[in-house]
């Protein structure tokens, strides 16, 4: 591009940073990201998302979080994709669950439209995880359990019946269509005691929790 006199701009830099991330060339992606600031080229939300994703694919969790936090410092708007990128970057390390949960709460506050799906839980007893990535879905599952812990009497079968299902659908970027289902079930099975779950016969995209297991878990946590 330089040889042909084509000027590099935000779009071209962002595209190359994204390509580097897909090729797991995170260091080169960060070099380009830093070069933009040195040259005074605007770095927008898409640029930051691409850099965070590149760090995540290179297992550079700490750097990914630094870049995400820099968005607030530089008044770069955070989008749904920003939260997906950082939560995915941190998700491979289960020791980051507290940070991920805090980021998920921040997302619900920062993106009110996204947070509206939790109203459906209150109105219809269903938690809709469409537009969630796998680690975001696990954060939502942990949030759901925290909510249930705070609801008095929820460890009784009668009360727990108010939670009808978790809508997992097919899941974002899922090759086999089961990404969210597997992620939520893995989270539930990792608990002590574990909570069994099963898909609804009338809709395989809806996951129901075993009421007895849920009650036992809540009693154990009380």
Examine residue 92 and state whether it is found in any structural domain, yes or no. yes
Number of domains within the chain: 2
Domain that holds residue 201: 116-221
Helices (H), 93-202: 97-110, 112-115, 117-124, 134-150, 157-160, 179-189
Q: Report, in angstroms and rounded to the nearest whole number, the Rg of the chain calculated over CA atoms.
A: 20
Indicate if the pLDDT at residue 112 is higher than 50: yes
Indicate if the pLDDT at residue 160 is higher than 70: no
Strands of the sheet with 165-167, listed across from one edge: 126-128, 165-167, 203-209, 197-200
One domain, residues 105 and 65: yes
Using DSSP bridges, classify how beta strands 126-128 and 165-167 pair: parallel, antiparallel or unpaired. parallel
What is the pTM assigned to this prediction? 0.86
Cβ count near 161 (within 10 Å): 10
One domain, residues 217 and 124: yes
Examine residue 1 and state whether it is found in any structural domain, yes or no. no
The answer to whether 1 and 12 have CB atoms below 8 angstroms apart is yes
Examine residue 37 and state whether it is found in any structural domain, yes or no. yes
**What does the pLDDT look like over 95-111, one tens digit per residue?**
789 999 999 999 999 99
More confident site: 136 or 92: 136
One domain, residues 17 and 43: yes
Examine residue 96 and state whether it is found in any structural domain, yes or no. yes
pLDDT of residue 51: 97
User: What span, in angstroms and rounded, lies between the C-alpha atoms of 79 and 58?
Assistant: 22
């Amino acid at each position: 591009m330089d040889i042909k006199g084509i000027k590099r701009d935000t779009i071209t830099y962002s595209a190359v940073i994204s390509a580097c991330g897909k090729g797991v060339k995170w260091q080169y992606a960060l070099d380009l990201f830093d070069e933009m600031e040195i040259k005074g080229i605007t770095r927008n939300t898409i640029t930051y998302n691409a850099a965070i994703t590149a760090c995540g694919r290179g297992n550079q969790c700490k750097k990914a979080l630094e870049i995400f936090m820099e968005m607030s410092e530089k008044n770069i708007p955070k989008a749904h994709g920003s939260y997906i990128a950082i939560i995915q970057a941190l998700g491979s390390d289960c020791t980051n669950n507290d940070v991920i949960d805090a980021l998920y709460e921040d997302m619900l506050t920062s993106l009110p439209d996204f947070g509206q799906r939790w109203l459906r839980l209150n109105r219809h007893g269903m938690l809709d995880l469409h537009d969630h990535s796998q680690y975001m879905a696990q954060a939502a599952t942990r949030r759901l359990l925290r909510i249930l812990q705070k609801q008095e009497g929820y460890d009784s079968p009668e009360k727990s019946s108010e939670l009808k299902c978790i809508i997992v659908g097919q899941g974002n970027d899922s090759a086999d269509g089961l990404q969210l289902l597997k992620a939520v079930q893995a989270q539930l099975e990792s608990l002590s005691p574990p909570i069994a779950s099963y898909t609804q016969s009338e809709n395989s995209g809806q996951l129901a929790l075993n009421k007895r297991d849920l009650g036992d878990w809540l009693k154990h946590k009380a």
